[in-house]
Amino acid sequence: MKLIGFVCLLCIVVHIINIAMRGALNDYGLLPRHITHITGLVAYPFLHGSWSHLISNLISFSVLAFLVARSGSARLIAVIVITWAVSSIGVWLFGRTSFHIGLSGIVYGLWAYLITYAFIFRSIKSIVIGVIVMFFYGSMVWGFLPVHQWISFESHLFGALAGILAGFRFARRDKSKQIEVG
C-alpha cells in the first residue's frame, strides 16, 4: 500500500513542478529511438499532460495496483517493474516519434496482468477479481486503437503485452507451487 501511495504522490509532485516550469519536464518524456532522450525510459510514467490525465491514471493505477497487491507487495513490485520496463522499451523501439508521457503503460500492464492471471490460474479469488476488472475496466480495450494522436496507444499496447507476460508467468509459477504443496 505504501508503494501505491508513493507512486501517486510522486506523480502529483512531478506534475506540480511541471506546471510551475510551464511544461518543461515534458522534454523528459519518452521520445522513441532518440538516444538523447534515453532518460524518458525511466521518467515518462511520472509525467502527465494535464490534471485530468493525471487523475484518471492515478485512480486506475490505485485500484488495479491494490488488486495486484492482494497477492503481496513483492508481486506488485514485480508486475510494475516488468510492465514499466517492457512498455518503455516497446515504445522506445516502435512508438511514433513524439513525446510519450503518463502512467498508462503501467496501468494497462496491471489490467492485463489481473485478467491473464485469472484466466490461467483459475482460482475463485482470481476469477472474481478478473470479472470485476473486466466489468469496471473492460472499455480499456479501446485504448489499443490509434484514435487520437495525443494518446500513446503504443504505451497501452506494450504495457498490456507486458501484463499478459507477467500474468502468464506468475500464474504458471503459482499453479506449480500449488501442485507441489497440494
DSSP string for residues in 35-54: GGGTTHHHHGGG--SSHHHH
Please answer whether residues 79 and 109 qualify as being in contact, where contact means their C-beta atoms are separated by less than 8 angstroms.
yes
Q: Provide the pLDDT for residue 89.
A: 97
Which grid cell is 161?
503485452
Domain definitions of the chain by residue range: 2-181
Share of the chain above pLDDT 70, in %: 98
Q: Is 181's pLDDT higher than 70?
A: no
Q: Provide the pLDDT for residue 177.
A: 84
Three-state DSSP class for residue 72: coil
Q: Provide the pLDDT for residue 37.
A: 87
Q: Provide the pLDDT for residue 111.
A: 98
Q: Provide the pLDDT for residue 156.
A: 97
Average pLDDT of the residues of the chain: 95
Counting every residue, how long is the chain?
182
Q: What separation, in Å, do the N-terminal and C-terminal C-alpha atoms of the chain show?
A: 30
CATH number attached to the domain at 2-181: 1.20.1540.10
| Sequence-distant (≥ 6) Cβ neighbours of residue 5 within 8 angstroms | none
Q: Is 87's pLDDT higher than 60?
A: yes
Which residue type, as a one-letter code, is found at position 25? L
| Sequence-distant (≥ 6) Cβ neighbours of residue 135 within 8 angstroms | none
Distance between CA atoms of residues 171 and 121, nearest Å: 5
Which residue type, as a one-letter code, is found at position 121? F
Mean pLDDT across the stretch 86-101?
96
Q: Give residue 29's region: left, alpha or beta (phi > 0; psi -120 to 50).
A: beta
Question: pLDDT grade, residue 180 (50/70/90)?
Answer: low
